[in-house]
């Protein structure tokens, strides 16, 4: 019984990374129609920037949670203005290839600068150790990751459903032409939304820094799972991305616990099943599919 | 055939022979007949950009260049060959690439020897080429015992370490230290499976038992669940056979889980000093592991490591020191025999006893070309024991050369 609770927490903690990053991917796809293949590289950059700032300026984990997403937001804005916006009128495949190329570039630049062995990162003291509940011992850091990412997801959801900005973004996602016709300048929101999506990937990277190896390649397998998450949740669906992120985390954890050889495949079997039953994903709209 | 044609053929043949003889003598007599092309070419074939770049990579090439420079300084004008080149290629850890690159190096770049070659599958591919071309190959970076067993050949030497030696050092020492009940977590590919078998054999020989053998995907970034599963059996120690980034993931998550406080130790199958550097000593909590060479072990090592530092800006891993040693011993053999003929060099090296900066009480076994030498059981220092950068290891015990490697009578190697 204890183990099942532990696997559940581990699954939800792993899912937290997927949920946060997939949320960014979904928002970008929703508003720009761009499938951002560089999202895994941005997750990696988030972790690398956190480690480098800690090394150079002694920036601690708590400040990194604030500073790194801002840095990544600016990075996203620059990428959107310089590159993505030029291809947006063309077939979506062009931006897919662009971001794929960007991934190769970023990964190799990081390898060139920082090598391949990974960068060290010091955990905050507050988050070391375990929380003991009876016979149950839960790593403090995993509990924190879960709570923090739920908080961020809830905040994004509130932003999207309770504010005027969110309303405009949602309207542009769903009925871009109609929103324009009503006098809303949709294009004004495109750049910040792209930056925001990249910032979420960077934030997931900061959360990964104390817990995972910080290497140039850390985003390569991450992005593959992330696509599965977004497809399961429904392309462009914000709630879907978050829910599917946690589901995939749980599938991964229980798969590893009871059928290790099948744990990776299980995620993609789930994806195939969802596409068969609901081609638009769990929370996707048929018309977007 | 008419007489005229026979005469014509004879004239042409004689002409060709005369010309080729001219070519051999060569204008200016660049080298003697003892050296093909009048020069010696040492080729380093390894990972220049991927996961093993830091522990071998460009710095292995530097180490070989240092060996050549030292050789030239030692022998000066007495050197039997003046022109010594060092070249390198990137095999990207792929056996098919390694195979092609090895052919290119031997044939097109007329390499006399190939050095390093990490990644077991790539290492075995190069061994096949060495056997076919009858050219020398000193492997340093790969761990597989196959190189000196079933897939051994006359031209292949295995210089630094192997899975048997790692298991024999860490598995035996930890078990004899009282941690008899093991769980093993290993990556599910050739190296991991080989390590799992070697460790299990060593642990059982030392009186321990292995509960589960947990295979994990490779590469993988989430080991929490595997660790929980291993810990649920309440073992004395969890042995991890992960390497590189996977090892770092696992160690970070082992620490998060607080298994140390539950009395569950961690034993690491294969670790390089570059891994400790990238994760920091705190994360390793004084873990024990097998080390083939350590830069700060004695004055001789340290002096060499200081020179390496001047060249590269970093401290050497054992693979870097082993590349230096392998290149040096090759050059000395060439100097002694006055030729680059591979068979002569093999004859010179077989059974030779060597002491150099890397090989302590070293010996090249004639039977299987396993190079044996003293190896060590090391412990990662705690943060307050570290007195300078890269000062990460305390050597707990020296395992004598004769006991460190698989006994020669157990080797399945035959040069046929």
Query: B167 with B269: CB under 8 angstroms?
Result: yes
Which residue in B114, B60, B123 sits closest to B94, CA to CA?
Answer: B123
Inform me whether the C-beta atom of residue A117 falls under 8 Å from chain B C-beta atoms. yes
Identity of the residue in A13, A139, A218 whose CB atom sits nearest the CB atom of B221: A218
Confidence tier at A242 by pLDDT (50, 70, 90):
very high
Q: A117, B277: Cβ pair inside 8 Å?
A: yes
Q: Is residue A200 part of a domain?
A: yes
Q: What is the dihedral of CA A77, A82, A86, A91, to 10 degrees?
A: -70
Cis peptide before B64 (omega within 30 of 0): no
**How do beta strands A130-133 and A136-139 pair?**
antiparallel
Would you call B311 exposed, middle or buried from its count of C-beta atoms within 10 A (0-12, 13-18, 19+)?
A: middle
Q: pLDDT exceeding 90 applies to what percent of chain B?
A: 76
pLDDT over 80 at B416, yes or no: no
User: CA B265, B268, B272, B277 torsion: positive or negative?
Assistant: negative
Tell me which chain B residues have a C-beta less than 8 angstroms from the C-beta of A113. Answer: none
Structure tokens at B24: 């051999």
Q: Testing the interface with B: which of A260, A265, A267 to mutate, by most B Cβ within 10 A?
A: A260
Q: Quick one: which of B350, B412, B301 has its CA closest to B155?
A: B350
- Stretch 228-287 of chain A: residues touching chain B, C-beta under 8 Å: 252-254, 256-257, 260-261, 263-264
Answer with the residue of higher pLDDT: A254 or B16: A254
Average pLDDT value for chain A: 91
Domain boundaries, chain B: 36-161+297-373, 164-291+377-403
Chain B residues near residue A116 by CB distance under 8 angstroms: 49-54, 244
Q: Which residues of B touch A14 (CB under 8 A)?
A: 222, 224
A163 interfaces chain B, CB cutoff of 8 Å: no
Which strands, in side-by-side order, build the sheet including B362-364? B353-354, B362-364, B371-372
CATH architecture of the region B164-291+377-403: 3-Layer(aba) Sandwich (3.40)
The Cα–Cα gap between B86 and B61 comes to 8
pLDDT digits (tens, 9 = 90+) for B312-363: 999 999 999 999 999 999 999 999 999 999 999 999 999 999 999 999 999 9
Is the pLDDT assigned to residue A237 strictly greater than 50? yes
**pLDDT score, position B112:** 96
pLDDT at residue number B380: 94
| Average confidence score pLDDT of chain B | 90
Name which of B216, B244, B278 is nearest A120 (Cβ-Cβ): B278
In a domain, A249, yes or no: no
Q: Does the pLDDT of residue B25 top 70, yes or no?
A: no
Q: Cβ A14–B274 below 8 Å, yes or no?
A: no
- Contact yes or no for B214/B228 (Cβ under 8 A): no
User: Does the pLDDT at position B5 exceed 80?
Assistant: no
Half-sphere CA count of A271, side-chain side, radius 13 A: 18
**Which of the pair, A89 or B63, is modelled with greater confidence?**
B63
Give the integer Cα–Cα distance in Å for B269 and B184.
10
* A144 to chain B: closest CA residue: B256
Lowest pLDDT segment from B47-56, B159-168, B265-274: B47-56
HEC string of B237-302? Answer: EEEECCCHHHHHHHHHHHHHCCCCCCCCEEEECCCCHHHHHHHCHHHHCCCEEEECCCCCCCHHHH
B282: closest CA of chain A, how far (Å): 9
Q: What is the pLDDT of residues B129-158, one digit of tens each?
A: 999 999 999 999 999 999 999 999 999 999
Residue whose C-alpha is closest to residue B57's, from B312, B307, B326: B312
Q: What percent of chain B has pLDDT over 70?
A: 92
B186-211 burial, b if ≥16 CB within 10 A, otherwise e? bbeeebbbbbbbbbbebbeebebebe
Alpha carbon separation from B394 to B163, B266, B311, B361 (Å, rounded): 22, 17, 25, 20
Is some CB atom of chain A closer than 8 A to the CB atom of B217?
Answer: yes
ipTM for the predicted complex: 0.85
pLDDT of residue B30: 40
Task: Read off the tokens for B268.
Answer: 């690491």
For A119, nearest residue in chain B (alpha carbons): B278
Mean pLDDT of the region A212-222: 91
- Judged against a pLDDT cut of 60, whether residue A243 lies above it is answered with yes
Lowest mean pLDDT among A106-115, A124-133, A221-230, B73-82: A124-133
Q: Which CATH number applies to B36-161+297-373: 3.40.190.10, 3.40.50.300, 3.10.20.30, 3.40.50.2300? A: 3.40.50.2300
Return d(Cα A179, Cα B253) in angstroms, integer: 48
Counting the structural domains of chain A, the total is 1
Cα–Cα nearest to B52, from B102, B149, B122: B122
**What three-state secondary structure class fits B187?**
strand
The confidence band for B21, taking pLDDT boundaries of 50, 70 and 90, is very low
Count other Cβ atoms within 10 Å, centred on residue B351: 11
Burial readout A136-164 (b: 16 or more C-beta within 10 A, e: otherwise):
ebbbbbbbbbbeebbebbeebeeebeeee
At residue A39, the pLDDT reads: 97
**Residue A143: phi, psi to the nearest 5?**
-65, -40
Task: Kindly tell me if the per-residue pLDDT of B19 is higher than 50.
Answer: no
CB atoms near residue B398 (< 10 Å): 14
Residue A96 is predicted with a pLDDT of 93
CA-CA-CA-CA dihedral for A89, A93, A94, A95, to nearest 10: 80
- Alpha helices by DSSP H, B115-223: 120-133, 163-166, 172-176, 190-205
Instruction: Give the model's pLDDT for residue B33.
Output: 62
| CATH fold match for the domains B36-161+297-373 and B164-291+377-403 | yes
Residue of B nearest to A263 (CA): B217
Under the banding of pLDDT at 50, 70 and 90, the label for residue B4 is low
Structure tokens that stand for A201 in this block: 């990937």
Distance CA A115, CA A97 (A): 26
pLDDT digits (tens, 9 = 90+) for B58-114: 999 999 999 999 999 999 999 999 999 999 999 998 999 999 999 999 999 999 999
CA nearest B158: which of B405, B407, B345, B409?
B405
**Cα–Cα distance for residue pair B148/B153, rounded to 1 Å:** 8
pLDDT grade for A240, boundaries at 50, 70 and 90: very high
Residue B10 has pLDDT above 70, yes or no: no
Q: Report pLDDT digits (tens) over B162-198.
A: 999 999 999 998 999 899 999 999 998 878 998 999 9
| CA-to-CA dists, residue A15 to A3, A216, A249, A265, B106, angstroms | 18, 21, 4, 16, 50
Eight-class DSSP state of B146:
G
**What's the token pair of residue B78?**
């007495």
Question: Burial, A216: exposed, middle or buried (Cβ in 10 Å; 0-12, 13-18, 19+)?
Answer: buried
For residues A62-81, average pLDDT:
97
pLDDT of residue B2: 52
Distance CA B403, CA B149 (A): 18
Q: Indicate whether A38 belongs to any domain.
A: yes
What's the confidence (pLDDT) of residue B374? 96
Q: Residues B76-79: contacts with CB within 8 Å, 24+ apart? A: B79/B335
Q: Is B324 exposed, middle or buried (0-12, 13-18, 19+ CB in 10 A)?
A: buried
Q: Which long-range contacts (CB under 8 A, 24 or more apart) does B330-336 make?
A: B330/B42, B330/B113, B330/B136, B330/B138, B331/B40, B331/B67, B331/B68, B331/B71, B331/B84, B332/B71, B334/B40, B334/B80, B334/B81, B335/B71, B335/B75, B335/B79, B335/B80
| pLDDT one-digit tens code per residue, B212-257 | 999 998 888 889 999 999 999 999 999 999 988 889 899 999 988 8
Kindly determine whether residue A217 and residue B252, on different chains, have CB atoms separated by under 8 Å. Answer: no
Q: For residue A58, give its domain range.
A: 15-218
Average pLDDT over residues B293-321: 96
Nearest by CB: B258 against A120, A139, A215: A139
């Amino acid at each position: 019984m204890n183990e099942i609770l532990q696997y559940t927490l581990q699954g939800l903690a792993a899912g937290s990374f997927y949920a946060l990053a997939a949320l960014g991917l979904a928002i970008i796809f929703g508003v720009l129609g761009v499938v951002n293949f560089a999202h895994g590289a941005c997750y990696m950059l988030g972790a690398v920037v956190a480690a480098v700032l800690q090394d150079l300026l002694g920036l601690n984990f708590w400040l990194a949670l604030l500073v790194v997403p801002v840095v990544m937001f600016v990075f996203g804005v620059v990428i959107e203005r310089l590159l993505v916006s030029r291809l947006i009128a063309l077939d979506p495949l062009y931006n897919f290839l662009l971001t794929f190329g960007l991934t190769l570039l970023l990964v190799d630049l990081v390898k060139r600068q920082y090598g391949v062995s990974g960068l060290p990162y010091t955990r905050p003291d507050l988050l070391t150790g375990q929380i003991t509940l009876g016979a149950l011992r839960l790593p403090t850091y995993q509990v924190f990751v879960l709570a923090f990412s739920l908080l961020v997801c809830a905040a994004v959801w509130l932003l999207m459903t309770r504010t005027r900005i969110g309303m405009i973004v949602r309207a542009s996602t769903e009925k871009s032409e109609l929103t324009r016709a009503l006098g809303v300048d949709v294009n004004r929101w495109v750049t910040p939304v792209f930056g925001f999506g990249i910032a979420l990937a960077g934030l997931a990277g900061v959360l990964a820094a104390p817990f995972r190896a910080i290497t140039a390649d850390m985003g390569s397998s991450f992005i593959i799972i992330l696509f599965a998450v977004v497809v399961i949740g429904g392309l462009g669906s914000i709630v879907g991305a978050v829910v599917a992120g946690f589901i995939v985390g749980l599938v991964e954890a229980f798969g590893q616990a009871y059928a290790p050889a099948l744990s990776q495949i299980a995620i993609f079997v789930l994806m195939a099943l969802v596409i068969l039953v609901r081609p638009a994903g769990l929370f996707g709209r048929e018309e977007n599919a | 055939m008419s007489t005229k044609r026979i005469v014509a053929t004879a004239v042409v043949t004689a002409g060709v022979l005369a010309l080729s003889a001219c070519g051999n003598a060569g204008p200016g007599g660049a080298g003697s007949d003892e050296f093909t092309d009048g020069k010696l070419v040492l080729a380093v074939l390894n990972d220049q950009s991927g996961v093993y770049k830091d522990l071998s990579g460009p710095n292995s090439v530097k180490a070989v260049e240092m060996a050549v420079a030292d050789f030239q300084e030692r022998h000066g004008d007495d050197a039997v060959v003046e022109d010594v080149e060092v070249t390198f290629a990137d095999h990207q850890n792929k056996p098919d690439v390694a195979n092609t690159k090895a052919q290119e190096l031997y044939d097109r770049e007329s390499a006399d020897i190939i050095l390093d070659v990490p990644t077991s599958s790539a290492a075995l591919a190069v061994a096949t080429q060495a056997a076919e071309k009858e050219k020398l190959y000193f492997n340093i970076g790969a761990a597989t015992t196959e190189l000196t067993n079933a897939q051994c050949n006359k031209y292949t030497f295995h210089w630094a370490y192997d899975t048997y030696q790692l298991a024999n050092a860490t598995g035996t020492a930890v078990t004899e230290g009282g941690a008899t009940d093991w769980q093993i977590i290993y990556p599910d590919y050739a190296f991991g499976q080989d390590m799992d078998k070697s460790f299990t054999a060593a642990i059982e020989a030392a009186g321990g038992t292995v509960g589960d053998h947990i295979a994990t995907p490779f590469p993988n970034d989430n080991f929490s669940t595997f660790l929980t599963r291993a810990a649920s059996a309440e073992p004395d120690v969890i042995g991890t056979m992960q390497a590189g980034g996977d090892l770092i993931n696992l160690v970070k998550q082992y620490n998060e889980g607080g298994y140390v406080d539950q009395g569950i130790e961690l034993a690491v199958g294969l670790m390089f000093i570059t891994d400790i550097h990238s994760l920091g000593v705190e994360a390793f909590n004084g873990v024990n592991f097998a080390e083939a060479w350590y830069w700060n072990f004695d004055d001789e090592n340290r002096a060499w490591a200081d020179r390496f530092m001047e060249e590269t800006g970093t401290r050497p891993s054992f693979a870097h020191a082993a590349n230096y040693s392998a290149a040096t011993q090759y050059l000395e053999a060439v100097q002694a025999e006055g030729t680059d003929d591979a068979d002569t060099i093999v004859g010179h090296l077989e059974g030779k006893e060597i002491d150099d900066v890397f090989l302590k009480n070293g010996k090249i076994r004639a039977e299987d070309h396993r190079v044996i030498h003293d190896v060590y059981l090391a412990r990662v220092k705690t943060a307050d024991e570290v007195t300078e950068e890269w000062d990460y290891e305390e050597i707990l015990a020296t395992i004598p050369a004769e006991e460190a490697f698989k006994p020669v009578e157990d080797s399945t190697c035959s040069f046929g």
